[in-house]
């Protein structure tokens, strides 16, 4: 990464000459050297020495209201900017509160570094006050972690942590620092603490035989589909993927996290695949004779039942993590390595191809559903979440960073908000963490202060982390919040409707007046109950100088369609009942 090697030499603490620093100073000096400008954290006993030294360094600290928020903010920061996000917490409960956020970053391969304080090394393992074995707890949900008990080990561990977080398949790294390691002093030498050079995974393999096999499959395919995943963003291979698709005229299907890896308006972009993907996308995959999977991992939410997944297709898998090859879907040609590098090798050998027949077949499958301009549909007095997403997309020109929570609104956003810019959709895909949106949006806004940031959350998930409204107020962040309020834990209710005979056990949800809640934080807001109010309220929010909250009271028992029940084949979708076609997302093919 561009910012990993050059310390800001203007800073006295990290000049070229090794200086004697406390561990606390070493921590911040190393972060500054790694290019960190913002951290999200919460102080406490075991991390106090570090906080005491913070004022000497050019780092902005955002005080969170719960450490889970700190991890999600670091995560949102990394997703929006591509830089490493940093979260800081104290030992014990501070550290355990980070875990959900760390696991969220792990499942979506997000580079974050979490710093935790730890009790002094002399009392490690004695059940001292606020002691918890956080390296043990986070072992399965971090890419790697460190327990640092000597000041001289701190800078090398931190620098290696930044390298590990960003290299290969990115992921979260935790550095646990004992209190005495923060208090003691050691010689600080930023350059000397540089980690060993990145060691490529020894199983990386993109040899000429595999390349040739891939090219041959590309050349002979009649019905190819390119599967665009999150790895395209990680590898910064957007141009290469686009060139490949355009040159060989390959239609592109996106995973949820890959939605911003290919412009939504591009004629080759079919849309989202999988459980709530467009019908024609899933049909195209099922009928394809070649799948080119780029930086995606055939998650169960995109394959449906594996026994019937893309039965006619040969599969090329371009992926940096060898453990993903043949994990779920048997692969014909595996190109294991950095997507961008592999495509750059491959592209000069890819010849132009006429894909019009296959593209025509897909657009026939789309039918009129592809137009889907619900703006033109008559207002029947009901407010549907789809309307909200559609109007939000129109009003923001598809240009905002939208940070969604998890549930129905997340899928409606994915279906109706058309993202043109990379990294403009931030959402918890792998872990599906409710409560993610509000803190992650704070991270995104801090990383990209000039971008318009919208939170789209359900009434359930919003309440999981709503205290972070106070963080928004304290930091004076311009974040717009849209709550899709249907009075239910909507996605769970939908599953109860479809699979549990409408037994709505524990899903009706009484919520506070969100507008009053925002008001208590000095954040203005508005209720929206009519379709006609959506656009004007979104305009009000955008024009307001500070944060603004809109509580959209939408149809209570609406469901996300189409839906592939878990365990069903990709083409066996549940469709919206015909009497209510207003916001159907796709036609029967």
Partner 1 sequence: MLHTFVALVEDKPGVLTRVASLFRRLNINITSLTVGNTENDGVSRMTIVAEAAEDRAHRMMASLYKLENVLEVDDVGRHSAVIRELALLKVECDAKNRADLFQLAEVFHARIVDLAPESLMMEITGSASKIEGLVQILVQAGYRILEMARTGRMAMRRGRHTSRVLAALSDTSSTGSSSSPPQKPANLTADQKQSGNWSAEQNRS
Does the footprint of partner 1 cover residue 194 (CB under 8 A)?
no
In this chain, which of 65, 150, 327, 553 binds partner 1, going by CB under 8 A?
327
179 is catalytic: yes
Does the footprint of partner 1 cover residue 205 (CB under 8 A)?
yes
CA distances for 321 relative to 66, 205, 317, 445, angstroms: 33, 10, 11, 30
Does the footprint of partner 1 cover residue 150 (CB under 8 A)?
no
Which member of 25, 67, 319, 468 is catalytic?
A: 67
Q: Locate all alpha helices (DSSP H) within 192-267, ordered by sequence.
A: 208-220, 231-235, 238-248
Does the footprint of partner 1 cover residue 110 (CB under 8 A)?
no
Query: Between 112 and 141, how does the x/- string for binding to partner 1 read (CB under 8 A)?
Result: -----------------------xx--xx-
CB of 139 to partner 1, least distance (A): 6
CB of 326 to partner 1, least distance (A): 6
67 is catalytic: yes
Does the footprint of partner 1 cover residue 201 (CB under 8 A)?
yes
Query: Between 207 and 399, whose beta carbon lies closer to partner 1?
Result: 207
Yes or no: say if 77 and 447 are a contact pair by the CB < 8 Å rule: yes
Query: Between 22 and 145, whose beta carbon lies closer to partner 1?
Result: 145
Q: What are phi and psi of 133, to 5 degrees?
A: -80, 80
Place of tokens 């000429």: 208
Q: Hey, which residues does 195 pair with through a beta bridge? A: none
CB of 173 to partner 1, least distance (A): 9
Please state, in angstroms and rounded to a whole number, the distance separating the CA atoms of residues 97 and 70.
Answer: 9
Does the footprint of partner 1 cover residue 325 (CB under 8 A)?
yes
Stretch of 98-106, 194-202, 283-291, 554-562 lying at the interface with partner 1 (CB under 8 A): 194-202
CB of 496 to partner 1, least distance (A): 30
Site for partner 1 in 340-359 (CB under 8 A): none
129 is catalytic: yes
In this chain, which of 202, 348, 381, 578 binds partner 1, going by CB under 8 A?
202
Helix (H) or strand (E) holding 339: helix 339-346
Does the footprint of partner 1 cover residue 109 (CB under 8 A)?
no
Yes or no: say if 143 and 165 are a contact pair by the CB < 8 Å rule: yes
Does the footprint of partner 1 cover residue 199 (CB under 8 A)?
yes
Which member of 57, 73, 162, 179 is catalytic?
A: 179
Which member of 73, 389, 491, 563 is catalytic?
A: 491
Side-chain-facing half-sphere of 158: CA atoms under 13 Å: 34
Yes or no: say if 171 and 106 are a contact pair by the CB < 8 Å rule: yes
Yes or no: say if 204 and 337 are a contact pair by the CB < 8 Å rule: yes
CB of 144 to partner 1, least distance (A): 4
Q: Locate all alpha helices (DSSP H) within 417-452, ordered by sequence.
A: 437-447
Yes or no: say if 447 and 80 are a contact pair by the CB < 8 Å rule: yes
Q: Locate all alpha helices (DSSP H) within 82-133, ordered by sequence.
A: 93-107
Does the footprint of partner 1 cover residue 321 (CB under 8 A)?
yes
Query: Between 332 and 452, whose beta carbon lies closer to partner 1?
Result: 332
CB of 140 to partner 1, least distance (A): 6
Size of the site for partner 1 (CB under 8 A): 34
Contacts of 321 by beta carbon, 8 Å cutoff, 6+ apart = 168, 169, 201, 297
Whether the bond into 156 is cis, omega within 30 of 0: no
Please state, in angstroms and rounded to a whole number, the distance separating the CA atoms of residues 122 and 318.
Answer: 48
Please state, in angstroms and rounded to a whole number, the distance separating the CA atoms of residues 175 and 145.
Answer: 6
Which member of 1, 130, 249, 395 is catalytic?
A: 130
Stretch of 33-41, 330-338, 411-419, 456-464 lying at the interface with partner 1 (CB under 8 A): 330-338
Query: Between 325 and 574, whose beta carbon lies closer to partner 1?
Result: 325
CB of 337 to partner 1, least distance (A): 9
Could you tell me which of 435, 436, 426, 484 has the C-alpha nearest to residue 458?
484
Helix (H) or strand (E) holding 485: strand 480-485
Query: Between 207 and 239, whose beta carbon lies closer to partner 1?
Result: 207
Q: Hey, which residues does 38 pair with through a beta bridge? A: 60
CB of 175 to partner 1, least distance (A): 13
Contacts of 554 by beta carbon, 8 Å cutoff, 6+ apart = 383, 384, 385, 388, 484, 485, 486
In this chain, which of 61, 83, 143, 301 binds partner 1, going by CB under 8 A?
143
Please state, in angstroms and rounded to a whole number, the distance separating the CA atoms of residues 339 and 553.
Answer: 43
Does the footprint of partner 1 cover residue 394 (CB under 8 A)?
no
Q: Is the dihedral of CA 430, 431, 433, 438 positive or negative?
A: negative
Does the footprint of partner 1 cover residue 164 (CB under 8 A)?
yes
Does the footprint of partner 1 cover residue 334 (CB under 8 A)?
yes
Catalytic residue annotation: 67, 129-130, 179, 491
Binding site for partner 1 (CB under 8 A): 135-136, 139-140, 143-144, 147, 164, 196-205, 207, 210, 213, 317, 321-323, 325-327, 330-334, 336
């Amino acid at each position: 990464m561009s910012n990993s090697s050059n310390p800001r030499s203007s800073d006295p603490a990290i000049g070229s000459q090794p200086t004697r620093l406390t561990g606390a100073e070493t921590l911040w000096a190393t972060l500054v050297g790694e290019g960190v400008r913002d951290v999200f954290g919460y102080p406490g006993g075991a991390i106090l020495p570090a906080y005491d030294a913070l004022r000497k360094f050019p780092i902005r600290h955002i005080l969170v209201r719960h450490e889970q928020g700190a991890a999600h903010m670091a995560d949102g920061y990394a997703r929006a900017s591509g830089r490493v996000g940093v979260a800081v917490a104290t030992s014990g409960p501070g550290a355990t509160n980070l875990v959900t956020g760390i696991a969220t970053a792990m499942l979506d391969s997000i580079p974050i570094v979490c710093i935790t304080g730890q009790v002094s090394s002399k009392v490690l393992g004695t059940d001292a006050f606020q002691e918890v074995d956080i390296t043990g707890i986070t072992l399965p949900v971090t890419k790697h972690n460190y327990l640092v008990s000597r000041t001289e080990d701190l800078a090398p561990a931190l620098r290696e942590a930044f390298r590990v977080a960003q290299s290969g398949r990115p992921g979260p790294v935790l550095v646990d620092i004992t209190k005495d390691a923060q208090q003691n002093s050691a010689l600080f030498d930023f350059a000397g603490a540089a980690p060993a050079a990145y060691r490529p995974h020894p199983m990386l393999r993109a040899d000429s035989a595999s390349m040739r096999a891939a090219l041959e499959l590309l050349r002979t395919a009649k019905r190819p589909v390119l599967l665009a995943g999150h790895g395209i963003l990680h590898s910064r291979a957007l141009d290469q993927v686009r060139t490949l698709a355009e040159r060989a005229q390959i239609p592109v299907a996106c995973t949820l996290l890959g939605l911003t890896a290919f412009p939504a308006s591009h004629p080759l972009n079919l849309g989202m695949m999988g459980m709530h993907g467009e019908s024609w996308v899933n049909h195209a995959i099922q009928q394809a004779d070649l799948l080119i999977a780029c930086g995606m991992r055939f998650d169960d939410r995109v394959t449906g039942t594996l026994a019937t997944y893309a039965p006619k297709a040969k599969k090329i898998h371009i992926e940096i993590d060898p453990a993903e090859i043949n994990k779920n879907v048997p692969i014909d040609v595996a190109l294991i390595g950095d997507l961008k590098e592999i495509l750059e090798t491959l592209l000069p050998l890819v010849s132009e191809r006429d894909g019009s027949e296959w593209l025509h077949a897909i657009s026939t499958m789309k039918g009129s559903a592809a137009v889907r301009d619900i703006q033109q549909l008559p207002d029947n007095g009901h407010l549907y979440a789809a309307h909200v997403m559609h109007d939000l997309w129109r009003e923001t020109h598809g240009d905002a960073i939208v940070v969604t929570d998890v549930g129905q609104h997340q899928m409606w956003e994915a279906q109706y908000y058309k993202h043109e810019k990379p990294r403009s959709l931030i959402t918890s895909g792998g872990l599906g963490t409710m409560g993610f949106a509000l803190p992650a949006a704070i991270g995104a806004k801090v990383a990209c202060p000039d971008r318009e940031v919208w939170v789209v959350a359900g009434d359930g998930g919003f309440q999981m982390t709503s205290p972070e409204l106070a963080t928004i107020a304290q930091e004076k962040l311009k974040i717009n919040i849209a709550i899709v309020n249907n009075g239910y834990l909507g996605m769970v209710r939908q599953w109860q409707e479809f699979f549990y005979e409408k037994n709505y056990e524990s899903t009706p949800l009484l919520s506070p007046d969100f507008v009053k809640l925002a008001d208590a934080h000095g954040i203005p807001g508005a209720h929206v109950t009519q379709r006609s109010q959506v656009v004007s309220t979104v305009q009000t929010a955008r024009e307001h100088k500070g944060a603004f909250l809109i509580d959209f009271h939408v149809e209570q028992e609406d469901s996300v369609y189409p839906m592939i029940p878990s365990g069903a084949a990709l083409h066996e979708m549940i469709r919206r009942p015909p009497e209510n076609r207003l916001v159907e997302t796709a036609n029967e093919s």
